[in-house]
Each structure stands twice: as C-alpha cells, then as structure tokens.
C-alpha cells in the first residue's frame, strides 16, 4: 500500500515526499518514531504501515497482530500530534466489521456485533486506530480521517506461503503448480466464502481523493462494491497462470468470514469509483509476480 501511494503521489506532482521503509525505521520503536517526526516535521501523513497476514498468520499469532499494530498506530499518531501534523489518513481493514454484518457492510456496522475469531486481534487494533483518529478530532480539532479498504492486491504484495492474504497466496500456489506441471492444487476451506478485491493502485488513488475531498469522523469504506467466491477467484487465477490441473478443497481448514462486501455508497456519492477490473488487475499482478519472483516480499 505504501509503495502504491508513493507512486500515485509522484504522478500527481508531489515533490516533497518523505518516507522510510520498515528496514530504515521500525515504527514499533517509539523513540525512533518521535525522532523521525521531529526531524522531518511533515504536514500530511498517510499511515499505511501494519503487520498483516491471512487466516493462518492471524490465527496463529494473535499476540503479535494485536501488539505490533497497536504500537505502530499509537507511536505514529502520538508523534504526529506532537509536531502538529495537520492532516493524517489512517488505513484500516474491512475485518473491523462484525462477522455476520448485513451485506453489503455499511460504515455504521462498526461495533454492532462479534468479530471473526480468526482475525479478531488484528481487527481490534484497527478499531483502536479509528478511535484514535476520532479522539484527535474531538480533543484537538484536527481534520484527521480514516479509510477502510477491502482486500487489496497488486505489485509489492506479500507472497509468503504462510503469511500472505488469500489472493497473493493463490497466485503463488497456482503459478508454482503451472511451472511444475502439477496435476492438483489444494486450497483451504470450501471455496464458498465471498470476497471483494481492490487493486492497490485504485486504493492509492482513493487515498489521494479522500485527502482532497473528505473531512469527517467516520471511517470511509473503499472497495469496488462487487464480490466473488474464493472458488471463482481461484479459477480465474488458474486460467491467468496457465494451470491446467484440477483444484481440490481441504474442508478441514477454516473458511473465515462467509462474506465481506463493503457498501461504498459514501465514497461513490463523493465522486470516486474503482477503475481497474479484477481480471485486468490479476493479469497485471501475475505478470509482476513472475518478473519479480526471485525478490518478492515473503513476510510471516
């Protein structure tokens, strides 16, 4: 996400961008974060950094997902407040909403029901970030905002076999199977859950739009308003990668939330819609993955 936002800002003509990779600045280190903000004194901040992962990673390491995300968010927001950052955009996740929220999920569904237990630690951290933004608005009157993206994909994603989200995990699995001439690919769950996917370049464009056009305490959903089943996305990725074998489903593994489709009415009425189609985005992402397979990120 951070890299995509950087690319979008450069295309928009911003020439005073300041950023650090996780290797250069550990946002879990409070002293380092405060030193960075004191030295750079940015006017605007997009907080895209997070510890993220799929069902396996979230379910296996809830302590790290809760602790590390809370530290990242608190450190950055506290440091930003100390130096008087005028505008901050906090990026969360659609997993903040209740597991059985009415579909499509509206922004006012927040805190109205139980979370999906396989990623509740991550969700709680992100909910805390939203409340942090709202608290700054109430106490200090600064126009800080939050946006909740649906499932993101695209260049620069985490393609770890154990720590990635569903779409990059499927891309890697089917690409490796296609290259090896394998007969079978096995995926987790039943394939019936429905998910919405947004290309990271569309999300970056939405971030710039929100910074220019939105000022309110409520988080804003960012997505396409359309979803597909995991089985359908797997079939599409199989076709794009050239895998000609069969797909099997390990139903002993969890499915996660049955459906997560965001209601994006608020953003559409403000004047923004996603432009990159799913098939188009998947083809571009598979090309990028194959061109960078030896150096792709594999965190988790």
Q: What is the pLDDT of residues 198-252, one digit of tens each?
A: 999 999 999 999 999 999 999 999 999 999 999 999 999 999 999 999 999 999 9
In a domain, 281, yes or no: yes
Strands 228-229 and 194-195: antiparallel
Of the candidates 88, 61, 73, the one whose C-alpha atom is nearest the C-alpha of residue 27 is 73
Considering the domain boundaries, does residue 300 fall inside one? no
Which residue segment(s) compose the domain that 224 sits in? Answer: 2-291
260 known ligand binder: no
Active site (annotated) includes residue 214: no
| pLDDT at site 299 | 58
pLDDT recorded at residue 294: 85
Per-residue model confidence (pLDDT) at position 256? 78
Domain total of the chain: 1
The active-site residue, picked from 44, 61, 97, 122, is: 122
Nearest alpha carbon to residue 198 among 96, 280, 89: 280
pLDDT score at 247 = 97
Predicted confidence at residue 259, as pLDDT, reads 87
* Residue 298: predicted pLDDT: 66
| Residue 298 forms part of a structural domain | no
144 annotated binding-site participant:
no
Q: Please report, for the domain that includes residue 145, its CATH number.
A: 3.40.50.720
HEC readout, the chain: CHHHHHHHHHHCCCCCCCCCCCCCCCCCCHHHHHHHHHHHCCCEEEECCCCCCCHHHHHHCHHHHHHHHHHHHHHHHHHHHHCCCCEEEEECCHHHCCCCCCCCECHHHCCCCCCCHHHHHHHHHHHHHHHHHHHHHHHHCCCCEEEEECEEECCCCECCCCCCCHHHHHHHHHHHHHHHCCCEEEEECCCCCEECEEEHHHHHHHHHHHHHHCCCCCCEEECCCCCEEHHHHHHHHHHHHCCCCEEEEECCCCCCCCEECECCHHHHHHCCCCCCCHHHHHHHHHHHHHHCCCCCECCC
The answer to whether the annotation marks 114 as part of a ligand binding site is: no
Residue 92 lies in a domain: yes
| Residue 115 annotated in ligand binding | no
Tell me, yes or no, whether 70 lies in a domain. yes
| Per-residue pLDDT at 11 | 95
In the predicted model, residues of the chain with pLDDT beneath 50 are none
List CB contacts of 242: < 8 A, sequence separation 6 or more. 178
- Closest by CA position to 121, among listed 164, 59, 66, 71: 66
Ligand-binding site membership of 28 (annotated): no
The answer to whether 216 is annotated as binding is no
Report yes or no on 296 lying in a domain: no
Instruction: Establish whether 92 is an annotated binding residue.
Output: yes
Establish if 299 belongs to a structural domain: no
193 annotated ligand-binding residue: no
CA distance 213 to 174: 40
Q: Is residue 111 part of a domain?
A: yes
């Amino acid at each position: 996400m951070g890299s995509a936002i950087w690319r979008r800002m450069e295309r928009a003509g911003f020439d005073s961008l300041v950023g650090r990779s996780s290797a250069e600045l550990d946002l879990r280190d409070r002293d380092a974060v405060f030193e960075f903000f004191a030295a750079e004194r940015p006017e605007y901040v997009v907080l895209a950094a997070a510890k993220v992962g799929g069902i396996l990673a979230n379910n296996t390491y809830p302590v790290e997902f809760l602790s590390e995300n809370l530290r990242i968010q608190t450190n950055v927001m506290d440091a930003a407040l100390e130096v008087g950052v005028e505008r901050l955009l906090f990026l969360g996740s659609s997993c903040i909403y209740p597991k059985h929220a009415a579909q499509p999920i509206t922004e006012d569904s927040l805190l109205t029901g139980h979370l999906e237990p396989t990623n509740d630690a991550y969700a709680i951290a992100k909910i805390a970030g939203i409340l942090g933004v709202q608290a700054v608005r109430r106490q200090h009157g600064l126009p800080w905002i939050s946006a909740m993206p649906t499932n993101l994909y695209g260049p620069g994603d985490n393609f770890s076999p154990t720590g990635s989200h569903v779409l990059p995990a499927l891309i890697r699995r089917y690409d490796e199977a296609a290259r090896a001439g394998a007969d079978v690919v096995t995926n987790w769950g039943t394939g019936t859950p429905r998910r919405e996917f947004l290309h990271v370049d569309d999300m970056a464009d939405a971030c710039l739009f929100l910074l220019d056009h939105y000022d309110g305490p409520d988080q804003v959903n960012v997505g396409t308003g359309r979803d597909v089943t995991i089985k359908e996305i797997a079939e599409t990725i199989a076709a794009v990668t050239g895998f000609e074998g069969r797909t099997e489903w390990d139903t002993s593994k969890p499915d996660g939330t049955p459906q997560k489709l965001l209601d994006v009415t608020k953003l559409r009425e403000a004047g923004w819609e996603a432009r990159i189609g799913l098939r188009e985005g998947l083809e571009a992402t598979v090309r990028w993955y194959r061109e960078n397979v030896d150096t792709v990120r594999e965190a988790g």
